Structure 1
Amino acid sequence: MKTSIENKVEKKLHSRNFTKFGLDINPIVSIASGAIIFIFALYAFFNLDGANKLFESIKNIITTKTDWVFILSSNLFIIACLFLAFSKLGKVRIGGVNCKPEFSNFAWYSMLISGGMGIGLMFWSVGEPLYHSMIRPPIFKSPNAVSSALATTFFDWGLHPWAIYAIMSLSLAFFAYNKNLPLSLRSVFYPILKDKIFGIWGDIIDILAVIACLVGLATSLGLGVQQINSGLTYLFNINSSILIQIVLIAIITGIATLSVISGIDKGVKFLSEITMKMALVFMVAVLLIGPTSYIIRTFSNSLGLYINDFVKSAFFISMDGSSWQGTWPIFYIAWWISCSPFVGMFIARISKGRTIREFVLAVLIVPSLLSFLWLSVFGGTSIYINNITNGSLFEVVKNKLPVALFEMINNLNTPFLAGSIKILLSIVGILLVIFFFVTTSDSGSLVVDSITTGGKLDSPVGQRVFWACIEGFIATVLLLIGGEKALTTLQTAVISTGLPFAILLSIMSIVLITSVKKSYAKQQKVKEIKLYKRFDEFKDSEDFEEKNLA
């Protein structure tokens, strides 16, 4: 039965929805976000070079002049996460004292990583460590260039991005499941805006979230099919063309649509688990076939350097706004922050029933360690191969990055069935890229649909299919307009939103901690009442002590 608060929320927010013709949407959020994306597409169509220059200049200003905002705020998110996990507030359970987790730990972790940054790790794990080993970064300095390169890559893909996701997702989950507000970005600002979140201010917040989700997903989908196309070209001589990439988008969108129709419990969960198992087999195969001893030593040394120099490197801010910091860590932080509404919403959706301590440690630590291991296997192998091939792999990374993974596999030393193993590994690599994109697309569709319905989790199936198709449509249109250049322009535009979102996330961190303190006091009272009732029930019983201890 719904509580009075839930009835109030439904009356204030969901009553504004358009519910005819099999739809259940907030028309202001849906139409406004769609119109803004359409205007961007028109601008790119008529003046792609101008759009590219405009957003590139905005991005450069943000990443060089306000780099300190990103560095300091991202460190604040880690501190906030650790405080929530290790203080008494970590005992608070998302959804209330009696709430139980919906998914097993393996399914939960699989969806976390698949929906978080699995596709990014596939794309960058070969190229980035190799790049840093050739062009030394100003952080994590070490006589060993390989350890320095991997520690720097750990920085870009470890605690900092996952702390951003943790703060966003925990805020969304807490206000949705503990405060009975909609699972939507507007709900996080209820302590500040109060009932205004149910009006135009809430609509503006959700419009920004929908735009960030859609363009981030469309950009990833467009760039990803180019990597898949590169792999097919490398293996089977299939031409790299816009037509092939559009066909790939249609196939991926079709699979994602089937998953969306099945829902989280079946489609998204099933695909995420399959993808993680396949990724584990792929990583172990490369570890065993590749330079195993070299990879293990590199992983250990790099992890030690990362831990030892973490604080010093995490707070490093270039005095002259160096292009290196703007190109790498600031670029990444801005991208993670821009994508946080989408990833955070999905993580929040699957995390009901976890304690805050369990949630933070799982979201912050487990994916980071798995990312470090993955980067060490593929990054370490790429550096090793580059050294024994006189720098040939680095040339591929500089000129044809999407092909780098397949070039690395081709150079693995496999004494038995060499050709067959290499082809099999390359095929698995292509399938993994496809599966990671499918899981990203279907989880993104569910998120966008939830936002546009005002936080509902049981919207019409046709609506979910619509948003899955829209993602593919946007990527297709951008490829037709200007190929990779149009997609890069869109990506640059998304990153430009990183600055305002960084400020919003900082405010959210403070609001979250303040609100959790109140919930902690309430949940402690509930536990005390339950304990008292048990005492009152068994105090006259001879076996009271045994039952109470149990």
Structure 2
Amino acid sequence: MINAQPKRAIRRRVLGVEIEAHPVVFPVSAIIVVGFVIATAAAPRRAMMLFDYLQTTIAEQFSWLYLAAMTGFLLFAIYLCFSRFGNILLGKDGERPEFSTMTWFAMLFSAGMGIGMLFFGVAEPMLHFVDPPNLRNGVIANAESLAAARGAMGITLFHWCLHPWALYSLVGVSLAYFSFRRGMPLSFRSVFYPLLGKRIDGWLGDSIDILSVVATLFGLATSLGLGAKQINAGLSYVFGLPQSTTVQIILIACITMLAVGSLLSGLHVGVRRLSELNMVLAGSLLVFLFVAGPTVYLLGAVVDNAGAYAERLPHASFWTASYAESSKSDWLASWTLFYWGWWIAWSPFVGMFIARVSRGRTIREFITGVLLVPSGVAIVWLTGFGNTAMHQEIYKSLDPHAATITNFYDYTPQQYDVQIIDPASGLPQSEDGAWLIGATANGVASPQGVQMRQSPSGLLTKSGNAVEYVRGVLVHAGTWTPYHPTVEERFHGPFKSEHASLSLSGYLTEPVLTSSHRSKVDTSATAMFVMLRSYPFPTVTALLGVLCVILFFVTSSDSASLVADIIASGGSPNPTVGTRLFWGILEGVLASVLLLAGGLKALQTGSITIGLPFCVLIILMCISLLKALREEVDAPEIR
């Protein structure tokens, strides 16, 4: 038995609620998160520029590391599964699994990527379909063609299947092995004992755990923001509820309360039951698409997509754009590197959670389940949503009578108000057409704009000051000083627009306006609801989709709160009620404040930035795990 324990957690009773916290990890993590919220709220433009700079630098300098590491994690996971270490139990000899296999699968998926697949399940395949990246072997697919559709699904599945789940399986198996097998605290510092020895009890171990807590909170807060946007979009679509930051913050507050209630009820009641219910509802929505939609086409697409993914997997796993033009490098940074950094930033949360619910399983069973089951579900899920959306675009244009032979419904393009963009500046115009309207320097979340004219030389000016955009922020021309428009300079009126008939692809790519004509619709968040409108019972299915997002929202939130609490309490697998409340509420506050300040984009890029040091940590984690497994097999008495 390894006999190394970190600093003993402090237990106190405050206002009748028991609190258990690590004396260093808990306060430092809380201070970092709260400090980040305050700084971002105070200077959102500077924060956005800084984090965009960091993201760009990481994409340019460390793309090779992300690509090599993620592919290495996949290969290492496969090796562990088939190696002599596969039969090692993640627990004491003879221990049985804590949860049934089906419940385990449901908890894996609900706490992992469920909310992301709902958000991007329609939008990502459609965006690749409309604008094919043409990354492989010089083969060019025409936009919105059959070849483009197959390529779009291959790209999407590459981002959502084996690679991220291999990463999660390695983090999870490492934590489960050292905690349940070696008797150490369920904490990230424990994994590094074979490399650091008793130094994990010092500042090195504290730093590892603090980074884990911060990455978990940052990663989840962005997902809460995305979830709030999609819930708001669905309620707006069904009930006409306005889409605004205020509504989204109210939604975050309400769902955070649900998540806290689920968290307080415990892992065996709240998280477990919600995960099981969520899989039933999400599965029902997926079955509906297969039955009501082009059934035979979707069944064939499942097989074809698996082939497209397998075909793309070897090349894409090692493709760094070193021999590609700049546009392809930009595409790699915007998609694959973004996802890899995002998954790495999420790995403390998902890895810790699946470790916590996987006690009593062998390494082979653990890795096989974590790799294959969610990846298989992802193939079927993304086919159901992505191919259904693309089918509406492709076969209607190929065969106008397709509705009579492929179980089609009404795919008639819908009428939308589309913002008019000035061709010279690329900026929208006000309703009278006299002014160009720039996006506010306050960030993505605000619908306001800044009024500007374009000079004969091409410079945009306002009040005699030349302005330009640097990293998505409006600044004084020639400097990096953010431009602060006065109240009089801010645009509050309607944008100039035209009424246009748009299919789903047009809806995703055109600047669609809200009914007030004062801001644009977040089309990525509403794409799923637009697609569902072409089938029977659109209101019912839209509400079912909103409910699925809410439940994924709640399960992700309470799972991440539990993980942050486990780490911050010094590795206790069952933390106290008081600290669970603290982390659950802090997550909602973090997401709300950043959404209000327009800093959601900064938080998103901040999560990718945190992924860089964590990538190095996970590489060292794999080395440490391999060392410990070899020691156990060669000298079993070390346990």
What TM-score do the two structures reach when normalised by structure 1? 0.89
Shift of 1:297: 2.2
* Alpha-carbon spacing, 1:487–1:525, altered in 2? closer, same or farther (3 Å): closer
Aligned residue number for residue 222 of structure 2:
219
Aligned residue for 1:427, secondary structure, equals helix
Aligned residue number for residue 331 of structure 1:
338
Which of 280, 283, 288 lines up with 1:285 in the alignment?
A: 288
Aligned residue for 2:573, secondary structure, equals coil
* 1:54 and 2:170 correspond: no
Q: How does 1:521-532 map to 2 (within 5 A)?
A: 521=634
Q: Partners of 2:218 and 2:11 in 1: how far apart?
A: 24
Aligned residue number for residue 426 of structure 1:
542
Aligned residue number for residue 500 of structure 1:
613
Read off the aligned partner of 1:326 and give its amino acid letter: A
Read off the aligned partner of 2:334 and give its amino acid letter: T
Q: Partners of 1:504 and 1:64 in 2: how far apart?
A: 21
After superposition, give the CA deviation of every residue in 1:20-63 in whole Å (9 maximum; x if it has no partner). 53221013212211211222222212221111011001101112
After superposition, give the CA deviation of every residue in 1:65-89 in whole Å (9 maximum; x if it has no partner). 2111111111110111000001121
Q: How does 1:261-410 map to 2 (within 5 A)?
A: 261-319=264-322, 320=324, 322-387=329-394, 388=396, 392-398=503-509, 399=511, 400-410=523-533
Read off the aligned partner of 1:231 and give its amino acid letter: G
Q: How does 1:251-262 map to 2 (within 5 A)?
A: 251-262=254-265
Aligned residue number for residue 476 of structure 1:
592
Q: Partners of 1:134 and 1:508 in 2: how far apart?
A: 40
Aligned residue number for residue 488 of structure 2:
none
Which of the pair is proportionally richer in strand? 2
Aligned residue for 1:24, secondary structure, equals strand
After superposition, give the CA deviation of every residue in 1:97-139 in whole Å (9 maximum; x if it has no partner). 2111000011000000011100000000101111111222344
Shift of 1:358: 0.5
Q: How does 1:433-512 map to 2 (within 5 A)?
A: 433-482=549-598, 486-512=599-625
Q: Partners of 2:345 and 2:336 in 1: how far apart?
A: 14
CA contact (8 A) 2:85 2:633 kept: yes
After superposition, give the CA deviation of every residue in 1:219-249 in whole Å (9 maximum; x if it has no partner). 2112211110011111110111223212211
Read off the aligned partner of 2:151 and give its amino acid letter: S
CA contact (8 A) 1:218 1:474 kept: yes
Aligned residue for 1:19, secondary structure, equals strand
Identity in percent: 39
Which of 74, 78, 91 lines up with 1:78 in the alignment?
A: 74
Q: Partners of 1:464 and 1:152 in 2: how far apart?
A: 38
Q: How does 1:125-164 map to 2 (within 5 A)?
A: 125-139=121-135, 144-164=147-167
* Alpha-carbon spacing, 1:525–1:66, altered in 2? closer, same or farther (3 Å): closer
Q: Partners of 1:252 and 1:145 in 2: how far apart?
A: 38
Which of 171, 190, 195 lines up with 1:187 in the alignment?
A: 190
Q: Which runs of 5+ in 1 are unaligned?
A: 413-417, 527-550
CA contact (8 A) 1:96 1:523 kept: no
Shift of 1:5: 5.2
Q: Partners of 1:316 and 1:74 in 2: how far apart?
A: 12
Q: Partners of 1:396 and 1:17 in 2: how far apart?
A: 54
Aligned residue for 2:582, secondary structure, equals helix
Which of the pair is proportionally richer in helix? 1
Aligned residue number for residue 62 of structure 2:
66
CA contact (8 A) 1:136 1:149 kept: yes
Q: Partners of 2:575 and 2:603 in 1: how far apart?
A: 29
Q: Partners of 1:502 and 1:158 in 2: how far apart?
A: 19
Read off the aligned partner of 2:364 and give its amino acid letter: R
Q: Partners of 2:282 and 2:588 in 1: how far apart?
A: 24
After superposition, give the CA deviation of every residue in 1:308-349 in whole Å (9 maximum; x if it has no partner). 342122111201561011111111001000110011110110
Shift of 1:519: 2.5
Q: Partners of 1:238 and 1:150 in 2: how far apart?
A: 33
CA contact (8 A) 1:146 1:298 kept: no
After superposition, give the CA deviation of every residue in 1:476-533 in whole Å (9 maximum; x if it has no partner). 2122222xxx11111111101122111111121122122122223456999xxxxxxx
CA contact (8 A) 1:107 1:273 kept: yes
Aligned residue number for residue 529 of structure 1:
none
Aligned residue for 2:7, secondary structure, equals helix
Q: Partners of 2:578 and 2:614 in 1: how far apart?
A: 31
Aligned residue for 2:548, secondary structure, equals helix
CA contact (8 A) 2:194 2:627 kept: no
Shift of 1:280: 0.8
- Structure 1 range deviating more: 26-35 or 123-132: 26-35
CA contact (8 A) 2:216 2:349 kept: yes
- Structure 1 range deviating more: 169-178 or 517-526: 517-526
CA contact (8 A) 2:632 2:638 kept: no
Read off the aligned partner of 1:207 and give its amino acid letter: I
Aligned residue for 1:488, secondary structure, equals helix
Aligned residue number for residue 94 of structure 2:
98
Shift of 1:362: 0.4
After superposition, give the CA deviation of every residue in 1:404-453 in whole Å (9 maximum; x if it has no partner). 000000123xxxxx3xx111110000000000000001111111111111
Q: Partners of 1:517 and 1:121 in 2: how far apart?
A: 38
* 1:123 and 2:119 correspond: yes
CA contact (8 A) 1:26 1:454 kept: yes
Aligned residue for 2:570, secondary structure, equals coil
* 1:13 and 2:7 correspond: yes
Q: Partners of 1:139 and 1:68 in 2: how far apart?
A: 17
What TM-score do the two structures reach when normalised by structure 2? 0.77
Aligned residue for 1:98, secondary structure, equals coil
After superposition, give the CA deviation of every residue in 1:176-198 in whole Å (9 maximum; x if it has no partner). 11111111111111111111111
Aligned residue number for residue 516 of structure 1:
629
Runs of 4 or more above 4 Å deviation: 139-143, 521-526
Which of 31, 40, 46 lines up with 1:44 in the alignment?
A: 40
